[in-house]
């Protein structure tokens, strides 16, 4: 074998090795988990208003804001990366200023008004955001085991159970919903 042939073959091997290394690094970068927003005042506020703390922890305490940030990044339940910004603009417009700067009673009233109007018109960002809050909460450990009744293996089928005021729903009820 001539020296030139060896260099050409070695060049191909080196190029193939570099390509392989590049592909592995690219795949590793793609499989790295998406960064979750550590703290987001708007999502914290929304979660606290939709499902506040009662005798059980609310959505904020259950970690739903972090779930929502990740869900928005990945388009869960028809959401998009721009939904958070659209929500902020909607809330700020309704508040006539910065929504987060309003007192809690005013925030709740504004959100209640937006909720009442959102389902009457198409294209509102609020139904997607509210879906994420509910989905995040009721699939969290707190929502599924403290807010709802949880039974790992349910008992017999009884289609006619009596329900009393104050009874909690079952944690498996949400699975029949199409989001």
Give the pLDDT band of residue 102 (cuts 50, 70, 90). Answer: very high
- Assigned domain for 35 exists: no
Greater pLDDT, 40 or 156: 40
The number of angstroms, rounded, from the C-alpha of 75 to the middle of its chain's C-alpha atoms is 9
- Assigned domain for 159 exists: no
Other beta carbons within 10 angstroms of residue 48's beta carbon come to 19
| pLDDT score for 163 | 84
- Assigned domain for 103 exists: yes
Collect contacts of 145-151 with beta carbons under 8 A, ≥24 apart.
145/171, 146/56, 146/57, 147/56, 148/173
The residue among 84, 50, 47 whose CA lies nearest residue 64 is 47
Full-model pTM = 0.69
Mean pLDDT of the chain: 81
| pLDDT score for 36 | 47
- Assigned domain for 123 exists: yes
Q: How far apart are CA 144 and CA 9, in angstroms?
A: 61
Over 70: is that where the pLDDT of 19 sits?
no
Give Cβ neighbours of residue 106 (< 8 Å, ≥ 6 apart).
Answer: 95
- Assigned domain for 82 exists: yes
Over 90: is that where the pLDDT of 26 sits?
no
What value does the mean pLDDT take over residues 151-160?
72
- Assigned domain for 162 exists: no
Over 50: is that where the pLDDT of 17 sits?
no
SS3 8: helix
Element (H, E) at 118: helix 104-118
Greater pLDDT, 22 or 111: 111
* Number of structural domains the chain divides into: 1
- Assigned domain for 171 exists: no
Over 80: is that where the pLDDT of 145 sits?
yes
Domain boundaries, position 46: 41-148
Q: Is the CB of residue 79 less than 8 Å from the CB of residue 132? A: yes
Give Cβ neighbours of residue 68 (< 8 Å, ≥ 6 apart).
Answer: 43, 47, 129, 132, 133, 136
- Assigned domain for 134 exists: yes
Give the pLDDT band of residue 18 (cuts 50, 70, 90). Answer: very low
Query: Using alpha carbons only, how large is the chain's radius of gyration in Å?
Result: 25
């Amino acid at each position: 074998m001539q020296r030139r042939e060896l260099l050409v073959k070695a060049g191909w091997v080196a190029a193939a090795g570099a390509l392989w290394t590049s592909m592995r690094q690219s795949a590793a970068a793609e499989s790295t988990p998406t960064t979750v927003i550590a703290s987001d005042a708007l999502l914290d506020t929304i979660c606290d208003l939709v499902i506040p703390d009662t005798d059980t922890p609310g959505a904020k305490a259950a970690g739903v804001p972090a779930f929502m940030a990740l869900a928005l990044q990945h388009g869960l339940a028809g959401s998009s990366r721009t939904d958070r910004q659209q929500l902020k603009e909607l809330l700020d417009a309704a508040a006539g200023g910065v929504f987060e700067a309003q007192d809690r009673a005013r925030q709740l009233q504004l959100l209640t008004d937006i909720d009442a109007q959102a389902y009457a018109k198409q294209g509102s960002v609020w139904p997607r955001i509210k879906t994420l809050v509910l989905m995040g909460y009721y699939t969290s450990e707190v929502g599924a085991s403290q807010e709802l009744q949880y039974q790992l293996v349910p008992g017999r089928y009884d289609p006619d159970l009596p329900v009393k005021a104050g009874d909690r729903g079952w944690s498996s009820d949400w699975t029949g919903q199409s989001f």
